[in-house]
Every structure is written in C-alpha cells, then in structure tokens.
C-alpha cells in the first residue's frame, strides 16, 4: 500500500478532499458475520472505503455493511435481502481504501434520509468536461436496516443522492457517513483501469484494455436511476483479462431491469509491454524468460529496428549486457535519440551491465573519456569500465555482495546496509552527485585487475529523465535474482 495524506472533516454537506496517487486494495472472503480487514500498512488518516462483491456464490442478494473504519482497517459483513434466510455463503469482496489527492475528487458527508424518495443535489467542485466516473458508499453502521446509496442525475457539475433502504422498511434512515469519489480519464494510474458500461439484468462481459498480472480487484457502482425498482450489481468470473457483470432486482420486484450506466474500477498490477534489445549477452534469454514467467508481454528487438519500431505502445525498453549498445549507437546515432525521446515521454529504461555504457553523460574506458558516440544522458552519471574487467569476468561471472544505500521502492524487502548478492560479469561503476545510488559494491574485484578496489562504488543507480524512469545496473539480476529484475520493471513502469 502507498500512504496518503488526508483530513477527515464531517459537515452536513460534502467536504471535498483531493486524492494522492496512492491507495490500498484487495479481495477478501466475507459472509454474513462481521470480518476485520487489515490494511497492508497503516494510513496516516482515516481513509474512505469502497467495496463490490467479486463473486456470485449464492442467489440471495446482499447489502454490504461497513463499520469501524480506522487507519489500520475496517469491519465488513453481508446482510441478505428481506425475506431470505439471512445467512449468506462466502463471497469474494473487492475493496479499495483511499485517502486524498491526485485521483479526481472525493468527499465525506454525514447525511440522513428523512423521506423514502427524497434526493439531495450535491455539487462537484472539479471542472469535469463530462460526467465523471463515480463511486459512492455508506461508511458507517448506525442502524440495523440495510441501506445502499442511490445516485442519479450525474452531470459534470453535480449529482443527486439518496439512501435507499431494503424492501420492507419505512425508507427513513438516520445519519450515516457517506463517501464518494469522482474521477476522469486524466486520473488513470499504472495499476488502474476504469470505464462505464450500460448493463441490464442480462450478463455482459467487460474485457480489459490491458492484461493484469493477477486477478484484479473490481469496484463498481450504478450512476443512473432509469427504473425505480431496487437493484444491485452482480460480478462473477473475474480473470486477468475480463469479468462478467449484470444487474439483479431485490425481492418484491419483477426481476426485469432496464439498462443502467455503471462505473467500474479495476485495480492490480498490469502486464507490461516490454522491448528487450537483442545483444550478444547470454542474459537476453534469462531476461525474456523471467518476464514471460511473470506474465509480461515481451518483444525481442534488433537495435537497428529501434528507430522505426520503439513506439509509445511499449512501457519500457531493456538494454541487456554486452558491448553492443556502444557499437549500436556508433553505427546509428538515431537509436540513442529515439530512446531519449521514448523515455522523455514517459517510457522506462533499464540498462544492465553493457546496456548502461551509453546511458550516462560520459563513458570512460581504461581511464579515457570516449568521445563517440554521443551518450544518451538519461541519468546524470559518469560510467567507468576497464578492458581487463571485461576480459576476466565475461564468461566467468561471479556473485558479488552489494550494499543497500537508501530506502527505495525497488528494494522494499531490504533495509539500508543489507548485503544483496547479485551476479557480476565485468560491468562498470558509476559516479554521480545528483542521482539515487541504490546499491554500492561491497566486494572488490580480483586484485590482479586495474583499479580492482571497487568496494563502495555505485553499482545500481536510478532516477528520472523527462517523464520516464531509468535504472542502470552494473550487476546482472536476471541470472539469479529475478525478483530484483522484476522490481526494476515495476518501478520504471509505474
């Protein structure tokens, strides 16, 4: 979970709270008994919680009840529809908890329902160009009567809201805390996909634009009221590529419902479209295999095809080891310019061993600043390589210790000063005064080699170039530390 900053203020109308680019989400098994759901990490302030059943294991319809939301978690249960046995089988419940900023507009309100059909018109403070995607949910449990939020008349500037009680109750409901979030296409995150779909009581299949690495969490809400019969959303068969959705009317109605507009939000790590440059390194096949096994979409690309084929359809490019990168740019300078433009516009770059040689400001070989070709300058680093390092270790790779220098998302599983063993095959060292040094060498090279005392020198550096992220790694994580390679991928593509 990524932390958020928030302020939780209760008014008799909505308090508008901008979101940060962070949230916690998941899927939990829930039945008709209260269940505690713990966040992966504690929030700094009380978050807003939105839920949706992600399975359909029993025909009896349910209301989802929340209570005791705090910075560490929340309680949740199902209440079955009026006239059933009130005992519900286990269902998969998708949930998302969010604090504030950079994900559209959200708010929290303390409202009551004085009359069954009374609605309130609530203003949106954000200047949406069209009616936004929209989710709303009760956050408290101040009354035993099951209730859900009914949204109608959603426009770019406002929406109508009421609390709708289960059939058989009087429709008057005491104060509850109600949360909402409104967002548009500008708010998409690397781990979200959302949209709107028109749905009635027939099953529809929603196919994602991008494949998720694992089955995602689905949240959904009805944004219209084209028919007054009380209805709920059913979701089933959630996979990495799609899910099925329909509407179902509660007991006491005819079971046939007209089309309503639904917002859906899918959350999870997505498969990345990755270019791996074909080089002379044996690491190429290891990189491709690790990425394939993780579910990513991988294309090996000849360096001479980069200029014509490296488009924004890809999320990142990996330049593996070997001296190929140097000779590729020497043969065609437009390769470097294409990669610069790709990263500047938001693509990621991972250079491994020889793939780092052309990515800094200057390249020193045997102590001499090599003037050609022009370096890409993706990071503000100087790169130092020696011919006898290459001769000694290429084909005779060893495992070297590397010290974690700072807290960073890539090395979340480690603490500062931890030693990480990664395969080394003659890669360079880096010097920088501005970029993040993630790992330094903790071992020296063979004492027979030029400038063999590299302990303390930078081994892995990371930073930003334009809108894109860059990792330069002297060691080879693909050989025996695939999880580090995958962490590189996740970070540069986030």
pLDDT of 82 over the 80 cut:
no
Going by pLDDT thresholds of 50, 70 and 90, the confidence category of residue 102 is low
pLDDT of 385 over the 70 cut:
yes
Give the model's pLDDT for residue 241. 96
Domains and CATH numbers, the chain: 15-267 (no CATH), 273-492 (3.40.50.880)
Q: What is the mean pLDDT of the chain?
A: 92
Q: pTM for the whole thing?
A: 0.78
pLDDT of 4 over the 50 cut:
no
Going by pLDDT thresholds of 50, 70 and 90, the confidence category of residue 2 is very low
Give the model's pLDDT for residue 7. 28
Going by pLDDT thresholds of 50, 70 and 90, the confidence category of residue 9 is very low
> Which range, of 23-27, 167-171, 178-182, averages the lowest pLDDT?
167-171
pLDDT of 406 over the 90 cut:
yes
Which residues have a Cβ under 8 Å from the Cβ of 468 and sit 6 or more positions away?
A: 342, 343, 344, 345, 346, 347, 348, 349, 492
Tens-digit pLDDT profile for residues 27-76: 999 999 999 999 998 998 899 999 999 999 999 999 999 999 999 999 99
pLDDT of 19 over the 70 cut:
no
Q: What is the mean pLDDT of residues 108-127?
A: 90
């Amino acid at each position: 979970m990524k932390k958020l900053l928030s302020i939780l203020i209760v008014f008799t109308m909505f308090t508008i709270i901008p979101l940060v680019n962070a949230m916690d989400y998941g899927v939990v098994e829930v039945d008709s008994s209260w269940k505690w759901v713990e966040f992966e990490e504690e929030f700094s302030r009380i978050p807003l919680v939105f839920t949706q059943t992600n399975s359909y294991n029993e025909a009896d319809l349910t209301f989802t009840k929340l209570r005791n939301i705090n910075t560490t978690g929340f309680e949740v249960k199902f209440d079955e529809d009026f006239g059933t046995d009130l005992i519900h089988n286990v269902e998969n419940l998708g949930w998302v908890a969010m604090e504030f900023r950079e994900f559209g507009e959200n708010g929290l309100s303390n409202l009551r329902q004085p009359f069954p059909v009374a609605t309130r018109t609530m203003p949106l403070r954000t200047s949406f160009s069209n009616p936004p995607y929209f989710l709303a949910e009760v956050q408290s449990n101040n009354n035993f009567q099951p209730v859900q939020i009914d949204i109608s008349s959603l426009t770019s500037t406002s929406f109508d809201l009421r609390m709708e009680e289960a059939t058989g109750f009087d429709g008057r409901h005491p104060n509850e805390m109600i949360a909402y979030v409104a967002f548009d296409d500008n708010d998409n995150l690397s781990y979200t996909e959302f949209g709107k779909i028109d749905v009635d009581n027939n099953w529809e299949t929603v196919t994602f634009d991008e494949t998720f690495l694992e089955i995602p969490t689905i949240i959904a809400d009805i944004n219209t009221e084209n028919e007054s019969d009380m209805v709920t959303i059913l979701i089933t068969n959630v996979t990495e590529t799609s899910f099925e959705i329909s509407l179902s009317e509660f007991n006491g109605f005819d079971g046939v419902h007209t089309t309503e507009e639904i917002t859906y939000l899918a959350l999870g790590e997505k498969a990345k479209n990755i270019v791996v440059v074909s080089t002379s390194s044996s690491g190429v096949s290891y990189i491709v295999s690790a990425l394939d096994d993780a579910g990513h979409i991988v294309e090996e690309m000849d360096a001479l095809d980069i200029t014509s084929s490296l488009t924004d359809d890809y999320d990142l490019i990996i330049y593996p080891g070997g001296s190929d990168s140097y000779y590729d740019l020497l043969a065609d300078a437009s390769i470097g310019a294409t990669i610069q433009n790709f990263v500047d516009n938001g693509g990621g770059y991972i250079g491994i061993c020889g793939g780092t040689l052309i990515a800094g400001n200057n390249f020193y070989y045997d102590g001499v600043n090599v003037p050609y070709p022009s370096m890409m300058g993706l990071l503000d680093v100087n790169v130092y390589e020696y011919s006898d390092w290459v001769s000694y270790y290429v084909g005779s790779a060893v495992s070297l210790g590397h010290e974690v220098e700072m807290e960073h998302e890539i090395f979340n599983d480690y603490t500062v000063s931890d030693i990480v063993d990664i395969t080394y095959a003659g890669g360079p060292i880096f010097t920088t005064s501005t970029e993040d040094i993630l790992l330094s060498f903790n071992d020296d090279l063979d004492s027979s080699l030029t400038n063999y005392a590299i302990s303390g020198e930078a081994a892995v550096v990371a930073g930003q170039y334009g809108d894109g992220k860059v990792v330069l790694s002297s060691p080879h994580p693909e050989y025996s530390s695939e999880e580090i390679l995958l962490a590189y991928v996740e970070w540069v593509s986030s």
